[in-house]
């Protein structure tokens, strides 16, 4: 079985431009965050940083410094007091689900602001995830891609729960990764933000750029279809 590691739960809340960006996994989220960083100047904005720099040298989000990442005590639930007592501070974290963000920013802010996330064809996304999972600095022993897909941990890499609640999409916009720049431009035009140039972030780990279709056999193709059936149905994605 492939080890899951610890999935941290990054989020952007802009009060000046009135948007909330919910970051999903392996969908270009770090690139979007870096591009949006220059418009996160309001003193009350919530920023959980991407540490380091993009591949092209562009400084990452807030130069690795968090901003208003701590969740105010008056927003805590009873469970939050327990987690703090056991050594886990209440903070906005990477890949925090939309329903939790909504709870902590408050329903009135959530409903009033424009909320969006990015999703990607899971057959494509899992190839990217494979290379990222076995990136050299993690020190993991790489296994065959087919074994990776057949592992028990596969369901944990679904993004579905990050932008839904009770199987209902609760963000205003789900951008398709395969048309990321065009759809993101529609969002920034709506928000009154200048058009963004997306840096390349975290793409350096994938050395083999063959089309994703070439990575699958009939069994692994079907397993992806079963595990990620909800997002596949929602977007109408096909393997081809």
Q: In what order do the strands lie in the sheet with 11-14?
A: 46-47, 11-14, 19-22, 114-119, 173-176
pLDDT per position as a tens digit, 188-240: 999 999 988 887 665 556 678 899 999 999 999 999 999 999 999 999 999 98
Domain extents in the chain: 11-235
**What pLDDT score does 8 carry?**
30
pLDDT per position as a tens digit, 108-119: 999 999 999 999
Tell me what percent of the residues of the chain surpass a pLDDT of 90. Answer: 49
Domain covering 11-235 assigned CATH 3.30.810 in the classification: no
Q: Does the pLDDT at position 159 exceed 80? A: yes
Coil, strand or helix: which one is 1? Answer: coil
Q: Does the pLDDT at position 56 exceed 60? A: no
Dihedral in degrees, nearest 10, Cα atoms 141, 147, 150, 154: 30
Task: Please give the average per-residue pLDDT across 5-11, as a whole number.
Answer: 36
C-alpha 189/C-alpha 173 separation (Å) is: 14
Which of 5-14, 86-95, 151-160 is modeled with the greatest confidence?
151-160
Q: Which residues contact 88 (CB under 8 A, 6 or more apart)?
A: none
**What pLDDT score does 5 carry?**
29
**What pLDDT score does 164 carry?**
97
Q: Does the pLDDT at position 63 exceed 80? A: no
């Amino acid at each position: 079985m492939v080890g899951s590691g610890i999935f941290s739960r990054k989020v952007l809340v802009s009060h000046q431009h009135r948007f909330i960006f919910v970051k999903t996994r392996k969908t270009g989220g770090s690139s979007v965050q870096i591009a949006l960083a220059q418009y996160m100047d309001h003193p009350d904005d919530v920023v959980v940083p991407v540490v380091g720099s993009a591949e092209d040298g562009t400084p990452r989000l807030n130069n690795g410094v968090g901003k208003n990442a701590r969740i105010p005590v008056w927003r805590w639930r009873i469970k939050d007091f327990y987690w703090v007592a056991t050594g886990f501070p209440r903070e906005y974290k990477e890949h925090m689900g939309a329903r939790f963000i909504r709870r902590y920013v408050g329903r009135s802010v959530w409903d009033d602001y424009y909320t969006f996330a990015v999703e990607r064809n899971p057959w494509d996304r899992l190839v990217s995830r494979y290379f990222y999972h076995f990136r050299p600095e993690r020190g993991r022993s790489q296994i065959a891609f087919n074994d990776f897909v057949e592992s028990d941990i596969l369901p944990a890499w679904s993004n579905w729960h990050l932008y839904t609640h009770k199987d209902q999409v609760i963000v205003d916009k789900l951008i398709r990764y395969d048309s990321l720049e065009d759809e993101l431009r529609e969002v920034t035009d709506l928000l009154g933000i200048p058009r963004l140039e997306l840096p390349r972030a975290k793409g350096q780990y994938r050395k083999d750029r063959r089309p994703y279709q070439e990575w699958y056999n009939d069994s692994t193709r079907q397993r992806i279809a079963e595990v990620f059936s909800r997002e596949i149905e929602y977007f109408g994605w096909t393997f081809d």
